[in-house]
């Protein structure tokens, strides 16, 4: 059973806390409207989340939808250039955290996800590994 996160308050939102700086992250991009940071339980090396700084529940609620996806594309190109991945998958689900977010997932020939994405195939990189990836992706 998926918990009902659909009406969670902004005060309870982990991504709003990351934007506010009360929860640390491995930030790879930030501007006035958006922030991107590494997933600490990544599906693959370099798995990044991009979020609007303003709390919107769904990706399609973000007013600057086109700009949002352009930024995701730009981050994907940095991943391809700096992580030597084969391609990048984009995923929007929205139920795990009720704050709009795009998963930008580098894909590797041997990444154990086969044709799709297996959400159970997560890793636990060390903080040193995350810092190294952060340096490779920071723009």
Closest residue by Cα to residue 88 from 119, 122, 111: 111
101 counts as catalytic = yes
Residue among 7, 101, 103, 113 flagged as catalytic: 101
Q: Which residue numbers are catalytic?
A: 101
């Amino acid at each position: 059973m998926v918990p009902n996160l659909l009406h969670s308050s902004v005060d309870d939102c982990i991504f709003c806390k990351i934007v506010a700086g009360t929860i640390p992250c491995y930030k790879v991009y930030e501007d006035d409207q958006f922030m991107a940071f590494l997933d600490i339980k990544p599906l693959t090396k370099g798995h990044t989340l991009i979020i609007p700084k303003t709390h919107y529940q769904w990706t399609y609620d973000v007013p600057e939808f086109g700009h949002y996806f352009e930024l995701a594309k730009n981050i994907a190109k940095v991943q391809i250039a700096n992580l030597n991945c084969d391609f990048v998958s984009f995923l929007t689900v929205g139920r795990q955290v009720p704050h709009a977010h795009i998963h930008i997932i580098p894909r590797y020939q041997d990444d154990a996800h086969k044709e799709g994405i297996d959400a159970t195939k997560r890793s636990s990189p060390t903080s040193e590994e995350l810092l190294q990836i952060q340096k490779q992706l920071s723009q």
